[in-house]
Chains A and B, each alone.
Chain A
Amino acid sequence: MNANWLFLIALSCIWIMLLYHMFLMLGGYLYAEQMEKRRRNQPLTRLHREDWPKVSVLIPAHNEELVIDLTLKAMCRLDYPMDKLEIIVINDNSSDRTGHIIEQFAQKDPRIKPLHLKPPHAAKGKPNALNQGLKLATGEYIAVYDADNIPHANALKHLVTAILEDPKAGAVIGKFRIINAKKNLLTRFIHIETISFQWLTQAGRWYWFGISTIPGTNFLIRKSLIDKLGGWDESALTEDTEISIRIYDEGYRIRFYPLAVTWEQEPEKWKVWIKQRTRWAIGNQYVIYKNIGRLFRRNPSKVVFDLIYFLFTYFIFLGAVILSHLLMLLNVFGWIHITLPGPFLLIWLLAYILFVVEIMVTLAIEKTELTIENFLIVLLMYVTYSQMWLYLIVRSIGLQIRSAIYKEEIKWDKTERFRSVSGNDFY
């Protein structure tokens, strides 16, 4: 196989991914338009107070003293019938004041039910905490929020509305925004990334294929379904992606419903970000290994879309980009000769423009985000933040190889929190 073939293969792999994203962006835009209309007309279902189903909110918390009070305040303000809501806060063997704060809130609000986990059932990661909380849950639906989340008061009602009107939806996911978006350049990058991810990947996939991936917070799932699935996979580092696959397998859809909004924190330091994203990468790679066999089934389900997408994101696209970079260098130094005809410089330029334009569309969907400042950050993002993904994926593969050689267990790393907002600022 000569350099021309390798170059063409690399380019094809890269552009399959980019074209797929382009297609998703179109779907994302159209879905945003649909949701606009929906929001104007009748966003919430009209139910009598007693007709709303009972919901159990699960909030796993491990050393969350910096943020848990804000989260619980927000939970107490949720616009949902009092007797139809229970908030199970799982204190996962915290060594700080988390347990104490939870108890304080529980004394004031009977809906809050503390669950203090101790070894050997504690500190095994978020999936374990959720499974423990699930045992206590009595609601017809289970909502999950991270301990740093501040949902809008009507977020839960939106999630319930969405699942009630769609019997095929096994779960409904809402939208999340960033509390500390303007803290520094990193949080600005993440802020733009999350908006793009939700309007492009989540909304696009939902619009075209009726699928989306549970993001780990601000989602609602049928209790009957999660019971049937046997709870969350405790081996998974990204239990949200893993359970999404199993939900599809049961024949359900996962509905993206952006009217249900929550706010959450994102890492403010590169070190924390790398740790968190490496965990995501390892977790998603675990999902690929676990489900790769489904690709070769005779009657593949919708899940194949996601599996191929993950396969491209974490292996094929990455490999193609590295190969492309390598070929470019070898060509520059004259060690190989790529003689294929075509407007390849123009194609590279178009890839950059497409990246920028796609993100600008997603930012424009949010009323306040289409700004010159964000535009400049997006320009910078392509050559900085986006390229960091290469490092992250290589790192995650390296860690897995290492853990396989030395038989080490890759542990669930808790993301470091920051106190970036006071309760009064928000309410």
Chain B
Amino acid sequence: MRPDNFNRYQALSVILGRIAFKSAAAFLFACLLATTANAQSADRNVSVDRMNILVIHAGQAGNDRTVNIVLDMLRHFPVHTEALQIEEVDKTKLSRIDRAILIEEGGTSTAGASISDHLRKTGIPHMWIACGQINDHIRPVQLHYRGKTFPVGHMKAYRLNENVKFGADNVLAYASDGANSTPLIVRDKEVWYITAGIENMRMTAIVADLLHDFLEHPHRDARQGLMIIENVYPLVPPEQLTAIADLLSDHHIPFAIAVNPVYHDKVNGIVYSASDHPGWVEAILYMASRGGTVIVGGNDLPLHVETFSDRLEQNLAVLSHLSLYPIAIALTEETLAAIHAESNAVHFSTVYGSGALKSQIPYVTFLETGIRVFPHTASAGTVMKPHDLGLYISEWDRLDTVRDAWFGFTYDAESPVELLEEWIFYTEDKPVRWIDIRHEPHKVESEWIRIVAPGDGTLEVSVIDKERLFALSQVEGNKARLEGFAFYSSWLLVGIVFSFIVLFVLFTLILHLRRRNRLFTEKELP
């Protein structure tokens, strides 16, 4: 069944608010998608459940970039993870683990080598990152993995230690500088040797892909992706929004609409509220009817915790007041890291990466707070140039390395629609399944509203405190008028006063020049 039918239905449910709709069409469509939509959660319950992973490293805890990348990537898997420095590791600790990831530059005589030996003897599978002879390396320009060749720069690949046996059957990847080549990833029974660091984004992608095999985690049958239309704020022309919706809908691409219902103009400080732009609200509803799902656009939220919370609550209130109930939020990775974890005002179970920052981690991760974070992959911004397109393509290729990669693309709502057409043309043959996020479970909770999307395409909205919702949604409108008035009137005042000052200075000069003829010269008393 065409998603359009469902989308119209869903749009109606959004308008009516708290009613959860279950139509036959929606149900059938949901069933079709349910298999894949729930695949991720199903994946997490297979053989690796409760597997204990120890990350052993030589660097300082928390400061080692490689360790952080590894730990972030492990959040994708349902495993218990612990990180220890080499000095802290003993046989007792090693006896309690199922897998180990060793991060240490070095050869056979290091502490890492001893641990690796012990793990191999005890039959514990492990991965050794940056192993090899540190005095013997090449600077590769190409990496070869799974039959594909990728260009690369700014990295070193060490020569493998002599005691590691490798051949055509167990070299999973190798690096080449054009003249020489060296094994990059070698699997020797239960040991994965990686002869380079993983800070390079290409290497991150390769290791991400490798982790599935290492952790015996099945690969997904298809890569998933989400198109997010971002910077959807009240000043974007409604016709632009409807054109975007029509284009994506015509190509059967569902999308998320990252809405900033309250826009703070940083130039003049004026606040524009969606409540004051009914035409724009109509356009959002139209987008929802064409396959769009409303989420909160958080890329303009401030980095100050209190202000972040206030603004986030206002955004949510304004959207809810307009019956545009959001089911997730789009945040920049920077904001997510700095704020969202500390802000308790509104809890979103799902966060989509947004903005210019690109995540090194190519798949969904799970934070300790229970939040799912879908990374941001690339953007099509307003100033896309051939160079940007090159980066865009390269990002596609990088993610292509990872069989389970998440393709999170953001498109600026103010960009020309022709750019979107170009993007669609380039993307159409890519092996990505664009998901409709309404068919995944989401939850938004605050003290005054609760929005639950169970994953069957319906929406359950409970307004806990109606008065507060109303109050929060009204503040911005007043503020907009107040700030606009303050801004323009203060500049008008500056203009008027400045003119008069100039005039008065002129008067003073005139009076001074004519002082000889002036008559107000009362006699001075001593």
A-to-B contact residues, CB < 8 Å: 4-5, 8, 11, 15, 18-19, 22, 25-26, 29, 32, 36, 39-40, 150, 152, 177, 179-181, 258, 261, 263, 339-344, 346-347, 350-351, 353-354, 357-358, 360-361, 364-368, 370, 421, 425-426
- Would you call B5 an interface residue if the criterion is a C-beta within 8 Å of the partner chain's C-beta atoms? no
Specify which chain A residues have a CB less than 8 angstroms from the CB of B508 in the assembled complex: 357, 360-361, 364, 370
Specify which chain B residues have a CB less than 8 angstroms from the CB of A364 in the assembled complex: 507-508, 511-512, 515
Given A179-B525, A365-B511, A367-B520: A341 in contact with B497 (beta carbons within 8 A): no
Specify which chain A residues have a CB less than 8 angstroms from the CB of B503 in the assembled complex: 26
| One of A26, A342, A367 near B487 (C-beta < 8 A) | A342
Given A25-B504, A342-B269: A177 in contact with B497 (beta carbons within 8 A): no
Specify which chain A residues have a CB less than 8 angstroms from the CB of B344 in the assembled complex: none
Contact B525 A367 (CB under 8 A): no
| One of A40, A342, A361 near B504 (C-beta < 8 A) | A361
**Minimal Cβ-Cβ distance residue in A for B510:** A364
Apart from A350-B501, A364-B515, A370-B511, 9 more pairs, CB < 8 Å = A341-B483, A342-B487, A342-B489, A350-B497, A351-B497, A360-B508, A361-B504, A366-B522, A367-B520
| One of A177, A343, A357, A361 near B494 (C-beta < 8 A) | A343
**Minimal Cβ-Cβ distance residue in A for B525:** A179
* A384 to B236 alpha-carbon distance, docked (Å): 52
| One of A19, A40, A179 near B519 (C-beta < 8 A) | A40
A interface, by DSSP: helix, strand, loop or mixed?
helix
* A8 to B479 alpha-carbon distance, docked (Å): 12
Specify which chain B residues have a CB less than 8 angstroms from the CB of A19 in the assembled complex: 493, 496-497
Contact B521 A368 (CB under 8 A): yes
* A19 to B490 alpha-carbon distance, docked (Å): 13
- Would you call B288 an interface residue if the criterion is a C-beta within 8 Å of the partner chain's C-beta atoms? no
* A425 to B525 alpha-carbon distance, docked (Å): 8
Category for how many chain B residues contact A = 35 or more
Given A341-B483, A341-B487: A366 in contact with B520 (beta carbons within 8 A): yes
Contact A346 B507 (CB under 8 A): no
Given A22-B500, A357-B508: A36 in contact with B487 (beta carbons within 8 A): no
* A339 to B480 alpha-carbon distance, docked (Å): 12
Contact B486 A8 (CB under 8 A): yes
Contact A367 B270 (CB under 8 A): no
- Closest 10 A-B residue pairs measured CB to CB? A341-B269, A342-B490, A364-B511, A367-B521, A340-B486, A367-B518, A357-B504, A341-B487, A39-B519, A350-B497
Given A40-B519, A426-B525: A347 in contact with B493 (beta carbons within 8 A): yes
CB within 8 Å of A: which B460-512 residues? 479, 482-483, 485-487, 489-491, 493-494, 496-498, 500-501, 503-505, 507-508, 511-512
B interface, by DSSP: helix, strand, loop or mixed?
helix
Q: Nearest Cβ distance between residue B526 and chain A, in whole angstroms?
A: 5
Contact B482 A353 (CB under 8 A): no
Specify which chain B residues have a CB less than 8 angstroms from the CB of A261 in the assembled complex: 522
* A293 to B512 alpha-carbon distance, docked (Å): 45
* A340 to B271 alpha-carbon distance, docked (Å): 10
- Would you call B268 an interface residue if the criterion is a C-beta within 8 Å of the partner chain's C-beta atoms? yes
* A180 to B269 alpha-carbon distance, docked (Å): 52
Contact B269 A340 (CB under 8 A): yes
Specify which chain A residues have a CB less than 8 angstroms from the CB of B479 in the assembled complex: 4
* A341 to B268 alpha-carbon distance, docked (Å): 6
Contact A365 B490 (CB under 8 A): no
Specify which chain A residues have a CB less than 8 angstroms from the CB of B518 in the assembled complex: 36, 365, 367
Specify which chain B residues have a CB less than 8 angstroms from the CB of A344 in the assembled complex: 490
**Minimal Cβ-Cβ distance residue in B for A369:** B520
Q: Nearest Cβ distance between residue A262 and chain B, in whole angstroms?
A: 10
- Would you call B524 an interface residue if the criterion is a C-beta within 8 Å of the partner chain's C-beta atoms? yes
Specify which chain A residues have a CB less than 8 angstroms from the CB of B497 in the assembled complex: 18-19, 22, 347, 350-351, 354
Q: Nearest Cβ distance between residue A264 and chain B, in whole angstroms?
A: 11
Specify which chain B residues have a CB less than 8 angstroms from the CB of A180 in the assembled complex: 525
| One of B483, B491, B496, B524 near A343 (C-beta < 8 A) | B491
* A15 to B490 alpha-carbon distance, docked (Å): 10
Interface string of B308-349 (1 = CB under 8 A from A): 000000000000000000000000000000000000000000
Contact B526 A421 (CB under 8 A): yes
Contact A354 B500 (CB under 8 A): yes
Specify which chain A residues have a CB less than 8 angstroms from the CB of B483 in the assembled complex: 4, 339-341
| One of B482, B494, B521 near A350 (C-beta < 8 A) | B494
Contact A367 B515 (CB under 8 A): yes
Specify which chain B residues have a CB less than 8 angstroms from the CB of A39 in the assembled complex: 519
* A364 to B501 alpha-carbon distance, docked (Å): 15
Contact A357 B501 (CB under 8 A): yes
Specify which chain B residues have a CB less than 8 angstroms from the CB of A421 in the assembled complex: 525-526
Specify which chain A residues have a CB less than 8 angstroms from the CB of B519 in the assembled complex: 36, 39-40, 367
Specify which chain A residues have a CB less than 8 angstroms from the CB of B505 in the assembled complex: 357
Q: Nearest Cβ distance between residue A217 and chain B, in whole angstroms?
A: 15
Specify which chain B residues have a CB less than 8 angstroms from the CB of A26 in the assembled complex: 500, 503
* A8 to B525 alpha-carbon distance, docked (Å): 47
| One of B501, B515, B522, B526 near A353 (C-beta < 8 A) | B501
Given A15-B493, A19-B496, A360-B508: A5 in contact with B482 (beta carbons within 8 A): yes
Q: Nearest Cβ distance between residue B229 and chain A, in whole angstroms?
A: 28
CB within 8 Å of A: which B369-393 residues? none
Residue pairs across A and B with Cβ atoms less than 8 A apart, 25 shown, are: A4-B486, A8-B486, A22-B500, A26-B503, A29-B507, A40-B519, A339-B269, A340-B487, A341-B268, A342-B487, A342-B489, A343-B490, A346-B494, A347-B493, A350-B494, A350-B498, A351-B497, A354-B497, A360-B508, A361-B507, A364-B507, A364-B508, A366-B521, A367-B515, A370-B515
| One of B482, B487, B522, B526 near A425 (C-beta < 8 A) | B526
Specify which chain A residues have a CB less than 8 angstroms from the CB of B515 in the assembled complex: 364, 367, 370
Given A5-B482, A421-B526: A361 in contact with B511 (beta carbons within 8 A): yes
* A278 to B93 alpha-carbon distance, docked (Å): 85
Contact A177 B522 (CB under 8 A): yes
Specify which chain A residues have a CB less than 8 angstroms from the CB of B491 in the assembled complex: 342-343
CB within 8 Å of A: which B151-207 residues? none
* A177 to B526 alpha-carbon distance, docked (Å): 13
Specify which chain B residues have a CB less than 8 angstroms from the CB of A358 in the assembled complex: 504
Specify which chain B residues have a CB less than 8 angstroms from the CB of A29 in the assembled complex: 504, 507
* A347 to B492 alpha-carbon distance, docked (Å): 11
Specify which chain B residues have a CB less than 8 angstroms from the CB of A341 in the assembled complex: 268-270, 483, 486-487
Most buried by B among A15, A39, A340, A367: A367
Q: Nearest Cβ distance between residue A74 and chain B, in whole angstroms?
A: 12
**Minimal Cβ-Cβ distance residue in B for A263:** B525
Specify which chain B residues have a CB less than 8 angstroms from the CB of A347 in the assembled complex: 490, 493-494, 497
* A344 to B497 alpha-carbon distance, docked (Å): 13
